[in-house]
Structure 1
């Protein structure tokens, strides 16, 4: 059975997350149903997929990566065309390549980049409401940018992890953390690039950093929270619709850069 890797993008608004679950329609369920239909498998059989990382309800992806073993020889580009004709327009296969059998979308990944978009207009843009956090308050960009420097490097991110996580090891390495201001679009864009992220980690970092920008917390708050390791002292978890899985990096990247 040939193994394929696919780079996909999706609008997560109408889904309850990536991973199959009993309480609603998911990205994974939609993809696996389309694969079964394409392969014309008997009822009850399925083609399991693995992803680089699960996204929550309402979270989007611009460069999610999955892999699966297909039950028959087929050209990679035929998979891409067929899947894009079978799937809802909210999910798109951008690229499909055949890979070695030891490639794993999750375990072969060495880093990921997420972005978080914030609409800073006085009134929410109706065309951004499903894809950004509306935050109409005055902010100090310098304080936020300075604060984020504290999270770069290897740290214990207990203060920025949901208490619902099942991960005991909360140490992760962040290679880049920055905010880009687009005044023309009245938008802030947070970017985080690292070797791994905990449950709700980016959304809590964003929520806390925005409080710093608003003057509700001091510029050294992120450093203090890294030291205290107490989720209760950090800021709110920013809502899901502003978050995007942007890019997944592999040592031997199978996709065109």
Structure 2
């Protein structure tokens, strides 16, 4: 009996490949969202360009480049996830040295070849509300209404195959000045203390969180009653879609994306580096604030004369 051993180059190449998931932090201000768009700066385009430049990937299909989610223009992240396979050992700080300061790799994890970052176990979004007229008790009351499984067809701009989603938890909190960053950065002016709304769920529809936040605010200022919120969830079949305007993307952060059985290892140097970059930009913003504050005061003085 003669045995024939067949050699398949593509299988041999796969055996040399390792699949890695990376957790991405970015400030969304100067990006036109995450997803690639022609002639526009996006997070995904930056990542692909620099991964190619450093020979981690070449052909996107062969490297099986995948993303966890597409954040809108202006939305920030500490936890979005990409994955790809490469023969080269992934070095977080080599990639960060190539990337611009407003986007950095924070952590990595080895994953199986079939891993798809889109299918997460849990996502956490945080929205920051900068208003002093919000009733915290009402915000908590609204949070209880949204928790659980509902039809969120009124909370998305796009028609999708299914609009049923489950909100695992919503936490409302407001840091005090003692808790906030002034103690760590004493040279900064006294900061605003926003209300944090942290929303946890397996997946979210397009614009869902920002539309939810509009409802939170409307109830908290007395513009909408809780009974109206109940009607927006699980509408009867065939009912016209409600027109809920989204709140600004600038105050939304994708905090984390978690997966069953995947443990990310955060790189201490990468996290410290991103912290320094954020601090530098924060100090710059404070200087711009001080300039405008001075000009306002001067104009008031001029009017007084």
Pick the TM interval, shorter chain.
Answer: 0.7 to 0.9
The aligned counterpart of 2:69 is 53
Where in structure 2 are the equivalents of 1:42-191 lying within 5 Å? 49-70=65-86, 72-74=87-89, 76=90, 78=91, 80-107=92-119, 109-120=120-131, 137-162=132-157, 165-184=158-177, 185-191=192-198
With normalisation by structure 2, the TM-score equals 0.71
Query: Cα deviations across residues 93-144 of structure 1 (Å, max 9, x unaligned)?
Result: 111233221222113x122110001223xxxxxxxxxxxxxxxx51211112
The aligned counterpart of 1:27 is 43
User: What SS does the aligned partner of 2:196 have?
Assistant: strand
With normalisation by structure 1, the TM-score equals 0.83
Distance 1:41 1:142, change over 3 A: closer
Whole-Å separation in 2 of the counterparts to 1:182 and 1:211 = 22
Tell me if structure 2 keeps the 8 A contact 1:52–1:106: yes
Whole-Å separation in 1 of the counterparts to 2:57 and 2:155 = 44
Tell me if structure 1 keeps the 8 A contact 2:57–2:85: no
User: What SS does the aligned partner of 1:32 have?
Assistant: helix
Query: Cα deviations across residues 48-77 of structure 1 (Å, max 9, x unaligned)?
Result: 63111111111111111110112x232x3x
Structure 2, unpaired ranges of 5+: 1-16, 178-191, 267-305
Query: Cα deviations across residues 13-52 of structure 1 (Å, max 9, x unaligned)?
Result: 111111111151110110010011101888xx55663111
Distance 1:115 1:12, change over 3 A: same
Q: Give the number of equivalent residue pairs.
A: 232
Q: Show structure 1 runs of 4+ deviating over 6 A.
A: none
The aligned counterpart of 2:273 is none
User: What SS does the aligned partner of 1:228 have?
Assistant: coil
More strand by share: 1
Whole-Å separation in 1 of the counterparts to 2:118 and 2:103 = 20
CA radius of gyration, larger in? 2
Tell me if structure 2 keeps the 8 A contact 1:113–1:248: yes
Indicate the RMSD between aligned Cα atoms, in angstroms: 2.1
The aligned counterpart of 1:201 is 208
Tell me if structure 1 keeps the 8 A contact 2:154–2:244: no
- Does residue 210 of structure 1 match 2:212? no
User: What SS does the aligned partner of 1:223 have?
Assistant: helix
Shift of 1:220: 3.1
Whole-Å separation in 2 of the counterparts to 1:33 and 1:227 = 43
Shift of 1:223: 1.4
The aligned counterpart of 1:2 is 18
Tell me if structure 1 keeps the 8 A contact 2:31–2:41: yes
Structure 1, unpaired ranges of 5+: 121-136
